[in-house]
Structure 1
Amino acid sequence: MRMHVLPLLMLLGATALTGCNTTSVAQYKQDPVSLAAPERPPQDDKQLYLELITQMQRQSAWYASLAHVDAYRQRYGDSPALRLLQADALRETGQLPGAQTLYTSLTNGPQAAAAWHGLGLIAVRNGDDTQAEQALARAVQLQPLNTDYLGDLGFARLRAGQLDQAREPLAKAAELAPGNVKANANLAVYALLRNDTATAERIFSSAALPEAARQEVRRLAQQLRQPAARAVEPTTAPTAATPPLRRGTAASAPAAPRSEPRLAPSMLERFGSTPTSQESTP
């Protein structure tokens, strides 16, 4: 079951299917390496396996990917790239403490940007606006051209009522990817929250957003205007702590998840569009 909290993003980044969409669930039972061409050099098997696990996740086969993560680790051992795939799958299947622990272990290596992005998405789910903003800002700092990270940061700031701070990352995402549906939809939500209907309509027109997309943008803007959008109800916080950022001090404990709004899946999924890979810099 997909559990998204940033409706126009991701996620986190923030996703719809990419690549080939014809793989059946039954195929996930096979050893991906056994499907490789016979002439493929053995040293390439590890990379092939990782690529096929990534493809499973793009097709939303999160539980199957977890099984293959275990199989990969038994055959080839552990690696930062494998732990990132596992963390993403744990997050998408609602196993947040385990995902948070893995992401935290990756914040100083080659997967650091993706790890901070994952921590930010978890913080959003937990209703911790401060930690979410810091983690997503760190991801953007490490990969300033990643439009998914920029969009997630901007929308997290919109959720927190930080309209002025949200403008820059949302505008960057829209200008870096002018044909990207979610980037334009995010910017339209921002415009509506600023009561700038004319700008929102211009975005709708220039991006050729379908009517269903426009209605969803208006619905989200109305939802985010309501005080309930920032309401918090008591609950148990995750056991794993997100490390503080150098540029700011994080809250001592994550805040409780919000009861409202229950945000929709990615806008790209709602629009039936196919995004690019979430964790790679454009």
Structure 2
Amino acid sequence: MSSLIRPMAGVLASILLAGCASSGPPKMVSYDEEPPLMVSCRTTVQPEERLQLDAIDEKIEQGQIYAALAQLESDQLGTEQHWLRRGQLYVLTGQVLNARELFEALVKQCDSASSHHGLGLVSMRQGRMADGIEHLAVARMKAPMSSKVRNDYGYALLQANERATAIYELRTAFELANGEGSARQNLAMAYILDGDASGLRWMVERYGLTSEEVAHAKATAEKMRRSQ
């Protein structure tokens, strides 16, 4: 603490002791306490920021997740997209507590679909299922056209054995993604867990679900069934 701040702190303490003696001793302030994490909620991405994000995404696609995180740690995080990527990279590099702190700050300060989505996924990863489903439900409400959000929400519901609602969400995610992506496997797994042979047959006939995909979905479904 500087020599200018210390005398002021002493004067303030004296005033509090004199004026509030009847209310007990004042609370001690820790000057070593870390300030809350301040993030940016700006969604407009400037051209130079887009170049930054593209460079980070390229590193992630190449599997250079530590290099991508290092770049985010050295760059100014001017948009919500920068912070979201940092949170995702914390998860990928095993820093789940840091990821939780970051996504909690984003939820509190931005209250966006992406922030709730991120915190929901981190909560599920930590085994906090009720908390995770709650945040994923908020993300789904805020971004109903997002296949990724509805897929992750549906998968979380499936883990919680809420099959009817899970199938609804996964079917929606599947159609929003035109039958592609992870919703394809998750919906097949949901139909298997629910014993819905007609639903699985519909995927085979309408969307060309292969025998290999069915076998994989059955194995994954059995693994989830044992864990419930």
What TM-score comes out, normalization by structure 1 length? 0.60
1:155, distance to aligned residue in structure 2 (A): 0.8
User: 1:182-240 CA deviation, whole Å, 9 max, x = no partner?
Assistant: 223222111111112232133133222333322110111112222xx13xxxxxxxxxx
Give the aligned residue type for 1:142.
Answer: K
Contact 1:181 1:209 in 2 (8 A): no
* Within-5 A mapping of 1:190-209: 190-209=190-209
Compared CA separation, residues 205 and 109, structure 1 to 2 (3 A) = farther
Contact 1:140 1:150 in 2 (8 A): yes
Q: Once structures 1 and 2 are overlaid, which stretch shifts more, 189-198 or 204-213?
A: 204-213
Unaligned runs of 5+ in 1: 1-42, 231-282
Corresponding position of 1:250: none
d(CA) in 2 for partners of 1:44, 1:155? 36
Corresponding position of 1:3: none
* Within-5 A mapping of 1:270-281: none
d(CA) in 1 for partners of 2:203, 2:83? 39
d(CA) in 1 for partners of 2:47, 2:197? 53
Contact 1:80 1:111 in 2 (8 A): no
Corresponding position of 1:219: 219
Contact 1:100 1:119 in 2 (8 A): yes
Give the aligned residue type for 1:171.
Answer: R
Name the SS for the 2:195 alignment partner. Answer: coil
Tell me: higher relative CO, structure 1 or 2? Use CA pairs within 8 A at least 6 residues apart. Answer: 1
Name the SS for the 1:144 alignment partner. Answer: coil
1:107, distance to aligned residue in structure 2 (A): 1.4
d(CA) in 2 for partners of 1:146, 1:59? 25
Give the aligned residue type for 1:88.
Answer: Q
Unaligned runs of 5+ in 2: 1-45
Corresponding position of 2:7: none
2:83 paired with 1:86:
no
d(CA) in 2 for partners of 1:156, 1:137? 10
Corresponding position of 2:150: 150
Compared CA separation, residues 118 and 60, structure 1 to 2 (3 A) = farther
Aligned sequence identity (%): 27
Which one has a bigger Cα radius of gyration? 2
1:109, distance to aligned residue in structure 2 (A): 5.4
2:58 paired with 1:48:
no
Which of 63, 74, 77 is equivalent to 2:66? 63
Contact 1:178 1:184 in 2 (8 A): no
Corresponding position of 1:72: 75
* Within-5 A mapping of 1:1-282: 44-73=47-76, 78-108=78-108, 112-226=112-226, 229-230=227-228
1:65, distance to aligned residue in structure 2 (A): 0.6
1:131, distance to aligned residue in structure 2 (A): 1.1
Name the SS for the 1:127 alignment partner. Answer: coil
User: 1:133-184 CA deviation, whole Å, 9 max, x = no partner?
Assistant: 1111111111110001101111111111111221221121122223314223
